[in-house]
Amino acid sequence: MRSFFKWTAILIVIGAIGAAGWFGLDRYQHRFVRTDNDLVTLLPPGDLTTFYINIAALRKGRLLHLLTGITPASEKDYTDFVSDTGFDYTRDMDALVGGVNNENETFFLIRGRFDWPKVQQFAAAHGGTCEDEACRAPGTKPHRWVNFIRIQPDTIGLAISENATAADLLRPPGRRLQDMPPGDPIWVSVASSLIKDPTGLPKPLQIFAISMQAAKSVVLSAGQPEHGNEAFTVQLEASFPNAPSADTTCKQLQLQTQMLRLELAHENRQPNPADLTGLLTAGTFQVGNTHLFGTWPVRKEFLNALE
């Protein structure tokens, strides 16, 4: 009899372990976000300036200081959401994908560790409401809404828009990507509308955007440094309708870089690695068929000057 109970207990334990394993596998198989590229697929279609930050990789490499000045801190609704929910990106966030369109809508897909009850409390505290896995609250600007949805336990979608249900555009299953994103920890894919009308950009970026107006796509990313005095490199990959267009743009960027060097020499100045003169004069460019590639080494002195 004692042996019977012993084997019964063993079978129960084995069955429980098997059921737990099946449940965990089933939950994983039905998750929509398994990789960071899946986050990109959930952004709404259209002409968006899209960006990606692999915060887990930066945290592991002790490079989170690179995010100084480039997080969406200018969007107060976003910073209020982060602070009021106790969400610390240096600790809780693993990946961030964002998109901005020309209709003044901003979308975020965030993968990390969340306290969903606090997210719901944020909505209630700001005069909003929650229903099921979706919440919305009035923004800090008139006629603007902060609305967010829980996609899965480790992923939420956040939209800031005049549309109180804009976050619904982030619901799975998403869309198929035409091109795979870069494998770098930080990248930006620039909207074609911003390239064609760069008036809202700083002057140096306006000049760059005007040079790229023949491109079909423009992607900038942060790559590995090539020399010991560099923090990282800014890499450009632009696709053009044909090889002559890529070659013409390459020559234009090379000419602009050379003109900047000559202007500094005329003023008896040397490129300063701690400011934009050092960054821009170090650019190199080459063409591969219909693609243009560029590299700008970012010196450690430049980052130190930003702190």
Q: Say what the pLDDT of residue 163 is.
A: 92
Q: How confident is the model at residue 5 (pLDDT cuts 50, 70, 90)?
A: very low
- Compute the distance between CA of residue 20 and CA of residue 117 in angstroms, rounded to an integer: 25
The alpha carbons of the chain give a radius of gyration, in whole angstroms, of: 24
Residue 159 tokens read as: 């939209």
- Compute the distance between CA of residue 177 and CA of residue 168 in angstroms, rounded to an integer: 19
- Compute the distance between CA of residue 2 and CA of residue 4 in angstroms, rounded to an integer: 5
Of all residues in the chain, what percent carry a pLDDT higher than 70? 85
pLDDT exceeds 80 at position 199:
yes
Per-residue DSSP letters for 123-158?
A: HHHTT-EEETTEEEEE-SSTT-EEEEEEEETTEEEE
Residue 275 tokens read as: 């400011």
Q: Say what the pLDDT of residue 66 is.
A: 64
Q: Half-sphere exposure (CA, 13 Å, Cβ side) for 157?
A: 27
Q: Given the structure tokens 């590639």, which residue do they identify?
A: 293
Is 241 in a helix, a strand, or coil?
coil
Q: Half-sphere exposure (CA, 13 Å, Cβ side) for 2?
A: 0
Q: Say what the pLDDT of residue 182 is.
A: 80
Q: How confident is the model at residue 28 (pLDDT cuts 50, 70, 90)?
A: very low
**Model pTM?**
0.81
Residue 156 tokens read as: 């939420």
Beta strand segments in the chain, E: 49-53, 93-100, 106-112, 129-131, 134-138, 145-152, 155-161, 186-190, 217-223, 230-239, 284-288, 291-299
pLDDT digits (tens, 9 = 90+) for 212-270: 999 999 999 998 888 878 888 999 999 999 999 999 999 999 999 999 999 999 999 99
pLDDT exceeds 80 at position 133:
yes
pLDDT digits (tens, 9 = 90+) for 269-299: 999 988 888 999 999 999 999 999 999 999 8
Q: How confident is the model at residue 94 (pLDDT cuts 50, 70, 90)?
A: very high
Question: Cis omega before residue 273 (within 30°)?
Answer: no
283: DSSP letter: -
pLDDT exceeds 70 at position 61:
yes
Greater confidence (82 vs 153) lies with 153
Q: Say what the pLDDT of residue 296 is.
A: 94
Q: Find the mean pLDDT for residues 65-89.
A: 66
pLDDT exceeds 60 at position 7:
no
Rounded mean pLDDT of the chain?
83
pLDDT exceeds 80 at position 116:
yes
- Compute the distance between CA of residue 212 and CA of residue 271 in angstroms, rounded to an integer: 24
Q: Say what the pLDDT of residue 75 is.
A: 59
